[in-house]
A and B are shown apart, each in its own frame.
Chain A
Amino acid sequence: MTSASASKKSTKNQISPIITINKLNKWFGKFHVLKDIDLEVNKTEKIVICGPSGSGKSTLIRCINRLEVHQEGTIIVDGTELTDDVKQINEIRSDVGMVFQHFNLFPHLTVLENCTLAPIWVRKKSKLEADELAMELLTKVRIPDQAKKYPGQLSGGQQQRVAIARALCMQPRVMLFDEPTSALDPEMIKEVLETMIELAESGMTMIVVTHEMGFANKVADRVIFMDEGQIVEQNDPKNFFNNPKSDRTKLFLSQILNH
């Protein structure tokens, strides 16, 4: 990337949102999963998306780095529109970090290698540089002593923190979290959430799909409720939890909070 285009990008960031989604529609076969989604995400904004299962929330964030292909509408990430162009897709993907429900660490690589693989091969960093950065981030997620181990030797919570560090090693502008705690045992959820809170405090732009309403309340700038593939309601957490506007939201909240 030349310096000219980089500076052009950075000026853009200040005036326009980092992610703009416009009239997004997606189908799985004949099934209409996302309907007319409009969403703007500003820099350093933290967004929590919640909703019943099958409401399309995971699909929505997976569209943002093209793990799913949409059929109608536009997604613009950091000034670049997502199209079929493989080069552009890869560029966007390396700027957008993603954390999965099932961690998806590479089992045949050590924790450190998991973190340095993409910086070395995609960002073209030297191994030393990548190692240094990875160790720094592993220290941040508080598992630097596990760097030489294989993912299979770690607990679920530790694996998820490695996954966060791995995504951060690419120095992304946006982080996507796809239900990062729902595959974890209760006692491990806390350590992962703490890591995510710290990350939020550092000013990262985050979109988080989760059922952890405590996290939403504490961190989110905006909470989005989705059902039936559409955005039903969005608001700041205080109003969202205390004064839901839609009957659907209220029903969902009563179910999830009584639970």
Chain B
Amino acid sequence: MTETLSKFQKIPDREPPSSTVGMLAWVRINLFGTTTNTITTLLFLYVIYLFLPPFLDWAIFNANISGSDRSVCDENKSGACWTFVKVRFEQLLFGLYFATNPDQIWRPITALFTFGIILTPLLFEKTPFKKWLLLILLTAYPVFFIFIVYGGAFGIPVSDTGQWGGFLLTFALAFVGIVLALPLGILLALGRRSQMPVIRALSVTYIEFWRGTPLITILFMASVMLPLFFPSGVDFDKVVRAMIGITLFQSAYTAEAVRGGLQAIDKGQTEASMALGLGYWKRTIFIILPQALKISIPAIVNTFIALFKDTSLVSIIGLLDLLKMSQSASRSLEWNGYDIEGYLFAGFVFWACCYGMSSYSQKLERKLDTEGRTE
């Protein structure tokens, strides 16, 4: 072992041949790699060329935004009429009451703004006291929302729910749906995994019943039959009826999302907490649920996206949500004929909300996925 060792000599790294890296190589590999690839690229480029420039011309370059009535748009038919959206903006977002009472418009703005303020820190991982913020959002905020938007106290004039509309109504319906459906859904999910056969059967029946029926039937039922279910004298207005229908419907989907989380929790957790002598409710509330809920957040967000889109169905039972408001505004005498713009605006708002939520839930899912793997 006295032999001298030669020193390891590293061959210096070289740059790869220029034909394999950089922009040009990327284009060659990803767009013109093979004959089929080239044909696909050319075909799609042609399709883009056919549709994109005319659309951009219509939607942006030739679009009308100035003025306050349809005369501008009527003169220039080659572009979209965003003037319509601009003029009716308050109505589309907040409904008729607030559009006709501009001095009250601070109320929905404050309500939505507050929502944003509470929600934003929740989206970041490192925010402290997240649980408390979430609790505020789910309990105190709805009270605040009703107080400020509905009014009726402290000299704030009442805005009747019948006059609610636009994005505000869409938001209210979806938010009520998730807030009320969450506790109900958790109970149902626990019921479905309960040891007691009667409880389990009832939960399964309930969940599968609502999941098997389209929401529109449920909304019909809520608007036509709900008043019949109760002794005369008990009556709700239309918005509340829709909210009840949506909540019952949503709770079944939330239950399934939570159940997924419960199933993923290790059996060992239950056994360990039983060994500690914790009773059913104690171990469920303090050990099982916090973990299960954390896992099921992406699934819950996904059901919420579906619900958010589904709130548009209330337009069929005569509520003026964002969709119906856009439709009816663009069919009004003043703006008749500009309904593409109306639909596109409503579609864009819905899309932005849903896309945001789904990106967030996908991010969360990936994070949970990698966490699960490293454990």
Among A38-91, those with CB < 8 Å from B are 71-72
CB atoms of B16 and A244 under 8 A apart: no
Chain B's nearest CB lies how many Å from the CB of A207?
22
Q: Is A250 an interface residue (CB 8 A)?
A: yes
How many residues of chain B get a CB closer than 8 Å to chain A's CBs?
Answer: 14
Q: Given that A30-B21, A246-B6 are contacting pairs, would A35 and B16 also be in contact in the complex, using a CB cutoff of 8 Å? A: no
Q: Which of B7, B15, B20 contacts A247 (CB 8 A)?
A: B7
In the complex, the answer to whether A243 meets B3 with C-beta atoms within 8 Å is: yes
A243 to B5 alpha-carbon distance, docked (Å): 9
Among the 9-residue stretches A98-106, A149-157, A226-234, the one with 4 or more Cβ atoms under 8 Å from chain B is A226-234
B16 x A246 contact (CB < 8 A): no
A214 within 8 A of B: no
Q: Does A36 contact B (CB under 8 A)?
A: yes
Q: How far is the CA of A230 from the CA of B9 in the complex (A)?
A: 10
Which secondary structure characterizes the binding site on chain A? Answer: mixed
A248 contact from B8, B15, B20, Cβ within 8 A = B8
Is B21 touching A246 in the complex (CB atoms < 8 A)? Answer: no
Residues of A within 8 A of B14 (CB): 25, 32, 35
Residue B234 interfacial (CB < 8 Å): no
Bound CA–CA A29/B8 (angstroms)? 26
Interface flag for B17 (CB, 8 Å):
yes
Residues of the B chain whose Cβ atoms lie less than 8 Å from the Cβ of A246: 5-8
The smallest beta-carbon distance between A247 and chain B, in angstroms, is: 4
A71 lies within 8 A of B17 (CB): yes
Closest Cβ–Cβ distance, residue A230 to chain B (whole Å): 5
List the B side residues contacting A36 at CB < 8 Å. Answer: 11
Q: By CB atoms of chain A within 10 A, which of B3, B8, B15, B16 has the most?
A: B8
Q: How large is the interface on A (under 10, 10 to 19, 20 to 34, 35 or more residues)?
A: 20 to 34
- Which chain A residues (201-250) contact chain B, with CB distance < 8 Å? 227-230, 232, 243-250
- CB contact under 8 A between A30 and B6, given known A35-B11, A36-B11, A230-B11: no
Task: List chain A residues, Cβ under 8 A from B267.
Answer: none
Q: Are A30 and B15 in contact (CB under 8 A)?
A: yes
CB-CB nearest in chain A for B3: A243
Q: Which residues of B contact A250 (CB under 8 A)?
A: 5
Docked pose: A251 CA to B3 CA in angstroms: 15
- Nearest CB in chain B to that of A69: its residue: B20
User: What residues on A are CB-neighbors of B11 within 8 Å?
Assistant: 35-36, 228-230
B1 to A, closest residue via Cβ: A243
Q: How far is the CA of A72 from the CA of B210 in the complex (A)?
A: 63
Say if the beta carbon of B10 comes within 8 Å of chain A. Answer: yes
B13 contacts A by Cβ under 8 Å: yes
Contacts A71-B17, A245-B5 supplied; 11 other A-B pairs, CB < 8 Å:
A29-B16, A30-B16, A71-B16, A71-B20, A72-B17, A228-B10, A232-B8, A245-B6, A246-B6, A247-B8, A250-B5
Instruction: Offer 10 A-B interface pairs, CB within 8 angstroms, sorted by A.
Output: A27-B21, A29-B16, A35-B11, A71-B17, A243-B3, A244-B5, A245-B5, A246-B8, A247-B8, A249-B8
Enumerate chain A interface residues (CB-CB to B < 8 A).
Answer: 25, 27, 29-30, 32, 35-36, 71-72, 227-230, 232, 243-250
